[in-house]
Amino acid sequence: MYRMHAIIFILLLGGNATLMAQENNVQYYELDPVVVTGSRIPYHLSESPCSVSVITREEIAILPADNISDILKYMSGVDVRQRGAHGVQADVRIRGGSHEQTLIMIDGVNISDPQTGHHNMDLPVNLIDIERIEIVKGPAARIYGPNAVGGVINIITRDANSNSFGGHGAYGEYGYYDMGAHAALSSDKVSGRLSASRRYSSGYLEGKDTDFDIKTINYKGILKSGSNKFRLGMGFTDKDFGAYKFYSDTFPDQREKTETFLLYSNAELKMADVEVMPRIHWRRHKDEFKININGVWNLNDHRTDVFGAQINTLIISELGATSIGGEAELEDMESSSLGDHNRGRQAVFLEHRFYPSDRLAIGMGASAVHYSSWGWEYWPGADMSIELTDGLTWFTSFEKSFRVPTYTELYYFTPANQGNPDLKPEKAWTGETGLRWLTGGITADFSLFYRDSEDVIDWSRRPGETAWQARNIATVRTKGGEVGVTFYPKSFFNTKWLSSVGIAYTYLDSDRSTQGMESKYALDYLRHQLNGSVVFTWLSSLKQVIKARYGKRMVGDNYTVVDTRLTYTLSNYELFLEATNLFNEKYVESGFTPMPDRWIIGGVKFNWD
């Protein structure tokens, strides 16, 4: 174990950017992209008033991952707790918040599941569809409404800019295979992308239900008319998987099947200094869960529909940039165990960003939200960023956020777990300050944050009781810090083989008051997190990435996991060989299911333009 740790820290952890060598010069991927997630008013990353991480398409292409959950687990401050492997099911937490407090979006559409956050990562998107992933580590309720307490993850899909066709095939241990194809057509007026894939494994624990079969199809089309754009997106994913020990250690035999369908349309209508952006969406999720209790299979069957509409108006004037708009959403559920329920919400929002000088930006805004179950709530916030010197920015923000209870927390009743229809929304005030440094040879960031939460929903019980009940009992104060540095040696030295190396560390401390009750999830957060990568360019066409992550929880497993991928590129083809959990670390991330040992996969990709 000590030898393994030494290897990891010699390699150094970190690296949220990628470097490519092209003969005698070095090409950097864009260090200062336009970020759209942290505000309704787009800005460059260097101007962001909060901690934002961007994972580019080029970075995704070289990672040892075939799903979005495995990509996110390499990010500092993001706690991905998987049950099973290869994105079968995962809970994503940011900065000590719960998985229910993380808002998941695709192209700005909220796809968080109202039944339970365990389904938030049932994403109808293939990796080849992704342009970038933007992660806001901090509250964004004033921008996106409920559940954006710990942070926001926005998956932005690719537009079709040229005609192309491609595919991939991979094979590995435990009967694993991954096959897929994609095609794009583009003209001056109309373009579209279509992709499809299937991932399968017979299971990594012999004789146990750890198999999976995941099918995904995704489409995105664009119609251009002058300066206006109209988009149509749709996706579908079908997951059928063994859920061995997912939710119970006493009754380990479990299976689950989920289906997710997403349909959305939006437009960008430009009129002089005004841009109007309407959007509509529909998300349907089906979940069939079975558990074997004393030889009898018990079935829970759920169907949820979410319908939403929004209009956002962006106005540019001498006073700055102003965003104003409103939205409405309806949730409807039919469930064999939770009953039939529905609820709606309407919201209006206002955000203004002004620039007293070229180096100073100040933003402020608020949302007013009306829920059919809880009435009106108001969520204000303010932020500021100052460019101290070229490439160095100081930022700070302070705002209120909230989360509404899920249907499971409200209506789930068993002898061991009891919901509570009288639950109120969680509320939190969060403050953050930090520094960001973006240069050609070094990128670095440092931040401190504090979150004061009240009416926090927790499954709790009084001493002597046997059943857990969902209650608004907890007051939680979370403080912490993040620091990360990525170094590009080719900017300073005449080295050909070492492209980038870095380190990223997150510390959390949570003080939770539960009124003397036992808490089911009080101490399961990551107190220490260290993760990142080193990238080698052995030859102009041969690249290797090594990713490693260390996590120490207040309770539960501590683990150190190393993954690697070797990629050889030849013209329009790419061969790759990857290994995850290289040193066979034994650990559990969530539930009671042990994570897989070393898993080796090889494959080929091709793309013709």
Quick: pLDDT tens for 316-370.
Answer: 999 999 999 999 999 999 999 999 999 999 999 999 999 999 999 999 999 999 9
Q: How far apart are CA 363 and CA 18, in angstroms?
A: 31
Confidence class of residue 31 from pLDDT cuts 50, 70 and 90? Answer: low
Neighbour tally for 604: CB within 10 Å: 14
DSSP 331-352: EEEEETTT--EEEEEEEEEEEE
**Total count of domains within the chain:** 1
Closest of 443, 464, 553, 559 to residue 509, by C-alpha: 553
Looking at the predicted structure, is the pLDDT value of residue 440 above 90? no
CATH number at residue 233: 2.40.170.20
| Rounded Cα distance, 234 and 507, in Å | 38
- How far out from the chain centre does Cα 541 lie? 31
Higher pLDDT, 541 or 7: 541
Asked whether residue 24 carries a pLDDT value surpassing 80, the answer given is: no
Average the pLDDT over each of 42-51, 249-258, 357-366 and give the range with the smallest value.
Answer: 42-51
Task: Determine the pLDDT at residue 155.
Answer: 95
pLDDT tens track for 146-197: 888 999 999 999 999 899 999 999 999 999 999 999 999 999 999 999 999 9
Least confident of 12-21, 64-73, 438-447: 12-21
pLDDT value at position 523?
64
The length of the chain is: 609
| DSSP secondary structure, 199-254, as one string | EEE--SSTTSS--EEEEEEEEEEEEEETTEEEEEEEEEEEEEEE-TTSS-SSS--E
- The pTM of this model reads 0.92
DSSP summary character for residue 463: T
Please check the confidence at residue 6 and state whether its pLDDT lies above 50. no
How far apart are alpha carbons 521 and 525 in whole angstroms?
9
Please write the tens of the pLDDT for every residue from 411-436: 998 887 889 999 999 999 999 999 99
Confidence tier at 378 by pLDDT (50, 70, 90): confident
Give SS3 for 129: helix
Mean pLDDT over 290-316 rounds to 94
* Type and span of the H or E element at 47: none
Neighbours of 609 (CB within 10 A): 9
User: Is 17's pLDDT higher than 60?
Assistant: no
How many angstroms separate the Cα of 467 from the Cα of each of 299, 415, 419, 518?
21, 6, 10, 11
- pLDDT attached to residue 255: 95
Residue 338, phi-psi category: left (phi > 0), alpha (psi -120 to 50), beta (remainder): alpha
Torsion of CA 385, 391, 392, 394, to 10 degrees: 10
List the one residue out of 238, 185, 243, 178 whose CA is nearest residue 214. Answer: 238
Q: Tell me what pLDDT residue 19 has.
A: 34
Per-residue pLDDT at 252 exceeds 50 = yes
Where does 318-441 show beta strands of DSSP type E?
320-335, 341-357, 360-371, 375-389, 392-403, 417-418, 426-438
pLDDT of 517 reads: 81
Residue 79, burial from CB neighbour count under 10 angstroms (0-12, 13-18, 19+): buried
Which segments of 418-501 does DSSP mark as H helices, in order?
none
Contact 425, 403 (CB under 8 A): yes
Report d(CA 54, CA 509) in Å as an integer.
25
Percent of the chain with pLDDT over 90: 71
Please give the residue range of the domain that contains residue 503: 2-608
Tokens for 376?
């009106």
Q: Give residues with Cβ within 8 angstroms of 465, minimum separation 6.
A: none
Evaluate whether 95 touches 508 at the Cβ level (below 8 Å): yes
Report the percent of the chain where pLDDT is more than 70. Answer: 94
Structure tokens at 351: 């955000």
Cα–Cα distance measured from residue 179 to residue 183, given in angstroms and rounded to the nearest whole number:
14
**pLDDT band at residue 10 under the 50/70/90 scheme:** very low
By CB atoms closer than 10 A (0-12, 13-18, 19+), residue 463 is exposed
> How do residues 211-230 score in pLDDT, each as one tens digit?
999 999 999 999 999 999 99
Chain-centroid distance of CA 302 in Å reads 24
- Residue 501: closest CA among 515, 526, 484: 484
Q: How confident is the model at residue 478 (pLDDT cuts 50, 70, 90)?
A: very high
DSSP tag of 125: -
Please report which helix (H) or strand (E) contains residue 68, including its range: helix 68-72
Tokens of 79: 């706690």
Longest dimension (CA), the chain: 71
Q: What amino acid occupies position 222?
A: I
